[in-house]
Amino acid sequence: MAVCEIMPDADPALVVIDTLARSMGAGDENTAKDAAMFVRNCDLIREATGAHVMVIHHTGKDEDRGARGSSALRAAVDNEIQVTADWEIISRKQRDQEPPEPLHFKLRSVVLGCDEDGDPVTSAVVDVAEPPKPERKPLKGKNEVAMQALYDALRDHGETRTGNLYPSNRKVVSVDHWREACATHGLTTGATDAAARMAFKRAKDKLMDMDEVREFGDHVWRVQDDD
């Protein structure tokens, strides 16, 4: 069980309880009564020391559902910060201020010294890291068909246009040429022109929402180059 020792003559800035589950003894973190007693004891430590109290706790198997246990625990905290398995630090709750942007980190091994056998004793320090590049999910279904049709339209009818609102590093193609290519690829099985137009509009809007395609005027282009 984790023990927090209060030193009468000390003036600590931070008291760390690591972990919540180990410090509750026979208490049940899922029970509101026991959770409220734990919170009250944290308050007593804070009042006796004048320090901030930081509690180390764990999520369940589903990290998106937040911390384990009674909702009384989260209701009592002023700041909730989650360290994820993806090397990210996220503010989940800020009582009195706007939450900061997520931070990213990596661990770096350092040698502290050697043991009695001469083997290195190591530990890890935290370094700031750049956010990972978002992974683009592969297209499926009609989105994939519409994108393949755009490839063909760009290959056959693509052109470079001038102006700040057009990309300078890739070709664009008219929406009409893309629509015709979608019809060739069988984007829709609708028997009417109205059904074909609606299928094309849905595919175009979806690809734009996914930031795969952009449009200006009556021309479109792909956002990403081929790898």
At 136 the pLDDT is 75
Rounded to whole angstroms, how far apart are CA atoms 136 and 129?
21
| Model confidence pLDDT, tens digit, residues 161-191 | 888 888 888 899 999 999 999 999 998 776 7
Within 10 A of 167 (CB to CB), how many other CB atoms are there? 14
Q: What is the pLDDT of residue 188?
A: 79
**Beta 79-83 vs 88-94: how paired, if at all?**
antiparallel
Alpha-carbon distance of 153 to 147, in angstroms, equals 10
Lowest mean pLDDT among 39-43, 95-99, 101-105, 119-123: 95-99
Q: At what angle do helices 193-209 and 175-184 cross, to 10 degrees?
A: 110
Q: What is the structure's pLDDT at 9? A: 56
Q: Which of the pair, 38 or 66, is modelled with greater confidence?
A: 38
Q: What is the pLDDT of residue 11?
A: 62
What does the alpha-carbon distance between residue 222 and residue 107 come to, in Å, rounded to a whole number? 37
Report all structural domains of the chain as residue ranges with CATH numbers, in order of start.
1-77 (no CATH), 141-222 (1.10.10)
- pLDDT of the residue at 135: 76
Query: Average pLDDT over the chain, rounded to whole?
Result: 88
**The one-letter amino acid at 98:** E
Say what the alpha-carbon torsion angle 98, 133, 150, 160 is, to the nearest 10 degrees.
90
Q: What is the mean pLDDT of residues 201-221?
A: 93
Are 106 and 127 spatial neighbours (Cβ–Cβ below 8 Å)?
yes
pTM of the model: 0.55
According to the model, what pLDDT value does residue 169 have? 86
pLDDT tens for each residue of 18-64: 999 999 989 999 999 999 999 999 999 999 999 999 999 998 887 77
